[in-house]
Chains A and B, each alone.
Chain A
Amino acid sequence: MRPLDEKETTQVFEKLFNFTGNNLKNIVEAPSHEGPESDPGRYCFRLNKNRVYYVSESLVKRATNVKRDKLVALGTQIGKFTKGGAFHLTIQSLNLLAANAKHKVWLKPTAEMSFMYGNHVLKGGLGRITENINTNDGVVVFSMSDMPLGFGVAVKSTQDCRKMDPNGIVVIHRADIGEYLRMEDEL
C-alpha cells in the first residue's frame, strides 16, 4: 500500500473529474467520521496491488499494521491501473460517482436489464437526460427510481440526441452493477 505518485494522481483525478466536474472537490474534502479520533479526518487515495482505494485516514493508519503482501483490500476500491499503465474506474466506485455526478441519464424500466447485461445505452431506452452533456463526458446511469445502475461515456451531446434515431448509441457502457454477478472473480 502506498500513496499515488503525481502521474497516477493526475490520471485518477482526470477520470473522476470527467464524471463529477466541480463536485470532485466534495469527494476530496469530504469529512470521514470513522475511527476513534474526535476530529473528523479526510479521505485519501491509496494504491495497493495496482488497485486504487478511497480510504479514510484513520483506516490507513490502522492498515499499516498489516503486512503488505497480506493486505487484500482496504476502504472502497474505485479503480485499477492496467498493465499498460492506464487507469480504469471500476464498478465499486459507483456510489461515490452517483452522489456527485454532474451528468446523469435515467433509463426506462425496459432498458434497465439490457444495460445491466453489459450493453450500451440506446436512445430508445432513454427516460431522461441532463442538459449540457457533451461528447466524451462521463455519465452515470440511473433507473427511473433514482437507483444508480452503472456509468459510461457519452457518445452524443444532449443536443445531438434529439436528432438521433432510436437505435443510436447514446452512452457507451463502462461498468454496471451486473458485473457483481457476471465478473465476480475478477473484481
Chain B
Amino acid sequence: MGKKKQKVVLPPELPPDVPEDEVEVSDEDLDFVAENIQHVGFLNTLDTQSITRHVTRVADVKEDALESLYEQRLRKKSLLKQKDDNVLEVDPVDALPVKTPDGKIVFRTVPKARKVADVGEATSDNEDNVADESLVRLTKAEKRAKLKKLRKEAKKQGREVTEIEEVNESSQAQADVLEEVKKDLTAEEVNESKKFRLAEIGTALLTDPEANIKSLSEMLQISKSEDRAIVALGLKSLLAVFKDIIPGYRIRLPTEKEQAMVVSKAVKKMRFYESTLLSVYKAYLLKLIYLGEKPAFQRVAIRCICNLLEAVPHFNFRERLLAIVVKNISSADDVVRKLCRAAIKSVFTNEGKHGGEVTVEAVRSIAALVKAHDCQLHPDSIEVFMSLVFDEDLGRAQKATVDKRTKSKKFKKRKNQEEQPSQLPNNDKKKARKEMISRTQEEVDADYKAASFAQDIAERRRMQTETLSAVFEIYFRILKHTFQTRTDASSVASSGGHPLLVSCLNGIGKFSHLVDLDFMADLMSYLGKLARGSSDVNGSPESSLGGCLTVSERLQCCIVAFKVMKSNLDALNIDLQDFYAQLYQLILEYRPGRDKGEVLAEALKVMLCDDRQHDMQRAAAFIKRLATFSLCFGAAESMAALVTLKHLLQKNVKCRNLLENDAGGGSVSGPVAKYHPYASDPNLSGALASVLWELNLLSKHYHPSVSTMALSIANLCNTTNQVYHTNVSPQQAFTELSLEKESFTTNSNINKSGNKRKRANVQQAVPTVADADTASQTDEVEVRKKLSEHFLLLRDISENGRLKSELDRTTMSLQLYQQYKKQKKKQR
C-alpha cells in the first residue's frame, strides 16, 4: 500500500506544469486512469481527485471554497431545504454531477464523473450489498445521504490530502471557513451533516477497508449522538460495513512475544488493521448490547445483532451475540422474537459457516434458558429446533471406511503372507523404505488436515451428539415439568397451560429416531401418562388432577407416541393398547370449537388408518364411536370420521356385521352381550352387538358429500368382494371440507332457495293439475310468473290475516265497551 501511495503522490506534480484549464487536467487524468485501470483500481480515483484539489487550490485557492460555503450558508438561512429535498428526490444517484447546479459541483464534474465510473466498475458489488442491506432504511434518507456523500467528498479528501501531503496553509484556511460555517449550522444541520458523514465513511470503507479502517471509530462516535434517528442510522450503517469487511476467519490478536518480534511492513499493517477492526467491533457490540436493553432502541439493536449473527457466526465475540439473541428469543415483542428466531434458524441451517460450534452453543444456551424460566416461555424458543439438521450418514460413512480399512488390512495381510516367502532375501531394505514412505505419508496427511478447513468427521459427530443430547434434555425437561405441574393441581391453575408442550411434542416426533432405544421406555411411559390426562384409569372424568392438558394436547401425545413407534421401533410390531383407549376416550371429549380439528384428523389417520391390523373388538368399537361422533359435529369432522370408518370397515371384514340389520351380533359379539356406549376401554364396549343405525341418519345429512359417503359405507356390505382403497386420508377430507365451509354457506342458501322454488312449484301445481305436465317443462319466464303470482297470493294472505286481526281487535274493544256500559248501568 505504501508504495502505491507514493506512486499516487507523484501525479500532483504533473498538473502545475499544465495550464490551469480543468478540462485538460481531467483529460490527462482520464488517460492515466485508462492506462492503469487494471491494477490501480479505486486508488486512482482518490488520486485524481486529490490532483484536482491541488489544481484548484493552485488556481484560485480561497475563492472557490468561500463561494461554496457562502452558498451553503445562504441556502440554510433561506430554509431552502424543501427545495433541496425535491432536487434530491428527483436526482437519481448516478446522474448527480450533471444535475446539481452548485458551482462547486460543476467545478468538479469531470473527476466526479470519472469517479462514479470507476467506482461503479470496481465496487458495484459492494454497493449492491449496501443497497440490499439498506432496504430497511428510509430510501429518502439513503438517497440524500448518497447524494451528499459525493458532494462532501471534497472536504474529506481535502483533509486527507493535507494529512498526506502536509499542505498546511490552504487546509487551514479551509478549516477556518468551515468552523465559521459550523457555528451557523442549526442542530438539524449537524444531524444532516452527520448523516452525510456516515454515508461518506461507509462508502469509503467499502471501497477500501484497509486504508480507511481508522474512520470506523469515527462512525461509532457519530452513532453515539443523542438523536435517535442518527443513532439508528449509525448502527445500521456500521452493520452494513461490518458485514462487508469482516474477514472469513477469526482474528487472533498477537501475543506480546509475537509483537516483540520484528516483522515486515505488510504484516504490521495487517496486524494494525485487524486489531483496529476488532476493537471497534467490540465497542460496537457493547453499544448494541447496551442499547438492546433500552426499549427505544431495542428493535434496531436486536435487528443489528441478529443480522450480525446470521452473517458472521464464525467471528470473534459470537458468544455475546448468541447470548443476546437467545435471551430475546422469547421476548414479548413480536418483531424482536421473530428476528431472533430467524437468526437462530439461520445459524442452525447454515452450519457450514461456523462448523457447527455455534449450533451447540445456541442449543445449550436455550437449554439453560428453558431451565431458568421453568418452561414458561414462548413456543418459538423451542420451535427453532425443528430446523436443526442431523446428518445421519456421518456415522455410517465412518463405519464404512473402517470396514474398508479392516478389509484392506486383511487383504494386505493375505497379500503379505503370499508375498513374504518369495521376498525374504531383500526384505530388510524394502521394509525400511516402506516405513519411510508411510511415515512421510502420515506427516503429509497430518499437515493437510491441519491446513484444510474440512472438519474431522469424528469432530462433527461429537458436536452432533452434544447438540442432540442438549435438545433432548430440553424435551425431557418439558415433559417432566408438564407432568409435575399436572400432579400438583394447585400450581396448574396459576401457571396456566404448557406453552412449550406442543412444539416439544413435535420435536420429539421429528427427532425420536435419533435417540438411544434405552430412552424409549421412559419416553413412552411419559407420553402415556400425559395422554391419560385428566381422566383416571378408572374412567372418572372429574379427578382431582384437573384437566390441565387440553384435548388437542393429549391427542398430540398419542400421535407422537405412534410416530415414535413407527419411526424407530418398526422391527417389533407393538400394539399400543393404552393409547387406543385414550383416543377412544378423547373422541367423546372432543369439542369442535375448542379443540383443533386438524389434530383429531391427524390422530385418526396415524392411529387408525396407518396401523396395519386391529383387534376385531377394538375396530368395531371405534367404528361405532366414530359413527356416533360424526352425527354430532360439523361436516368437516364427520367427514374425517366417516373416511376413517370406511377404511376400518374395508380392512376388517368381520366388522361388517355392524351393517347387518339385527342387533346382538351373534356369536362374534364376544363376552359382552350388550353395547356400552360409555365404556372407556374399546375392547369391553361390546360394539359388535350394536347396529350402525347412524349411517341411515347420516345419509340425510345436509352436506351432500357427507351423505354420499354415508350411503357408500352403508352399501359396502353388498359389494363385499370389491376391494378398492380410498385415497383420501381423514386429514385431507377434513381440510377440504373446512375450506369449503365458507363457500358452502352460500351454497346451502342456493339449495334452500331451490327447495323453495320446488315447493312453490308443487303448491302451484296442486291447484292447476292440468298444468302439471307443462309446469314440469316450464321455462324461466313461466316459473317467474308463477312465483310472482304465488308470492302475490302469499302477500294477500298475510294482508288478509293482518286485517282480520285488526277487525278482531276492534270487535273486542267494542265488546269491552259494551260490558263497561252494562256495568255502569248496573251500578246506577
Residue numbers of A with Cβ under 8 A of B are: 22-23, 26, 30, 33, 95-96, 99-100, 104, 106, 126-132, 144, 146, 158-159, 161-163
Contact = CB atoms under 8 A, between A and B. Distances in A.
A129 B577 contact: no
A147 to B, nearest CB: 10
A99 B572 contact: no
Given A99-B670, A131-B524, A132-B578, A22 B572 contact: no
A130 B577 contact: yes
Given A96-B671, A132-B525, 7 more contacts: A100-B684, A106-B573, A130-B574, A130-B575, A131-B578, A146-B616, A162-B571
B534 to A, nearest CB: 19
B671 A127 contact: no
A131 B684 contact: no
B309 to A, nearest CB: 42
B9 interface: no
A129 B671 contact: no
Interface string B566-582: 00010111111110000
Interface string B667-679: 0001111000000
Interface residues of B, number: 24
B537 interface: yes
Contacts of A106: 573, 575
Given A23-B684, A130-B577, A161 B572 contact: yes
A128 B613 CA distance: 10
B671 A159 contact: no
6 contacts: A26-B684, A99-B671, A100-B684, A128-B575, A132-B528, A159-B520
Contact of B575 (A96, A99, A131): A131
B615 interface: yes
Contacts of B576: 130-131
B517 interface: yes
Given A128-B613, A146-B615, A33 B673 contact: yes
B521 to A, nearest CB: 5
Contacts of A129: 572-575
A30 B672 CA distance: 9
Interface of B: 517, 520-521, 524-525, 528, 537, 569, 571-578, 613, 615-616, 670-673, 684
Given A22-B537, A131-B524, A159-B520, A30 B574 contact: no
Given A23-B684, A144-B613, A159-B521, A131 B671 contact: no
Contacts of B672: 99
Contacts of B684: 23, 26, 100
A146 B619 CA distance: 12
Q: Which one of B521, B525, B569, B673 has the greatest number of beta carbons of chain A within 10 Å?
A: B521
Contacts of B571: 162
A159 B565 CA distance: 12
A23 B681 CA distance: 10
Contacts of B613: 128, 144
Q: Which one of A95, A127, A144, A158 has the greatest number of beta carbons of chain B within 10 Å?
A: A158
A22 to B, nearest CB: 7
Nearest to B576: A131
A26 to B, nearest CB: 7
Contacts of A126: 572-573
Contact of B573 (A23, A30, A95, A128): A128
